[in-house]
Amino acid sequence: MWKLTKQYWKDVWTLLWSKTTVDDIIIAKAEEIKTKAKKIKEVIKG
């Protein structure tokens, strides 16, 4: 069990550090688009 837990944390650590700035930019843009879409939806509903 300890071996599995240890491997899990290694994988999570690798995943976190493997994120590039491009990933961060894409994630930020996706959130921005979602926010804009939500506002447009509200305007259309009026």
Q: What is the pLDDT of residues 6-43, one digit of tens each?
A: 899 899 888 877 777 777 888 889 999 999 999 999 99
What phi and psi values does residue 44 have, to the nearest 5 degrees? -65, -40
- b (16+ CB within 10 A) / e for 18-30: eeeeeeeeeeeee
pLDDT reported for residue 12: 87
Domains of the chain: which residue ranges? 20-46
CA distance 25 to 15: 17
Cα 15 → chain centroid: 12
